[in-house]
Amino acid sequence: MKRILILNGPNLNLLGRREPEIYGSQTFEDYFETLKPLFPEAELTYFQSNHEGAILDKLHEVGFSWDGIVLNAGAYTHTSIAIGDAISGIKTPVIEVHISNVHAREPYRHHSYISAKAAGILVGLGLKGYELAVRALLA
């Protein structure tokens, strides 16, 4: 059975309450419960942290033995050289996901320290982007 980690960064614990006009009204935990049954052939695990070091630790922990990582690094996408370096340093493929279309938002959101190191990128497809990322990792 393939193991896939869904890793969310800062403020994504507020999904369902934070700016629902951008991010929707569903919590990630509720979405995750609807996502798991779509992939009986995979072990999906979810981890969220508002702390950059915890995200780095999780990448290091699973990055040599798991089959895939779906990463929404939130605002760290645009600021964290360390997360980009961690992705370069691990073997597990990472797919970068953003719920909103970051290229249609503020200019500082247009740059990612992750994109060049990711196996793929899904942007602006809402929570559906996570499902598509898992499908890509399992293909």
Task: Name the pTM for this structure.
Answer: 0.94
Helix 81-89 / helix 52-62 crossing angle, nearest 10 deg:
10
Given 46, 98, 113, 130, the catalytic residue: 98
110: annotated binding-site residue?
no
pLDDT digits (tens, 9 = 90+) for 72-99: 999 999 999 999 999 999 999 999 999 9
Output b/e per residue, 52-83; b: 16+ Cβ within 10 A: beebbebbeebbeebbbbbbbbbebbbebeeb
d(CA 51, CA 124): 24
Please give the single-letter amino acid code of residue 33.
E
Q: Which residues of the chain have pLDDT under 70?
A: none
Q: Is 11 annotated as a binding residue?
A: no
d(CA 69, CA 60): 11
Class of the domain covering 2-138: alpha beta
Is 98 noted as a catalytic residue in this protein? Answer: yes
Q: Is 25 among the annotated ligand-binding positions?
A: no
Domain boundaries, the chain: 2-138
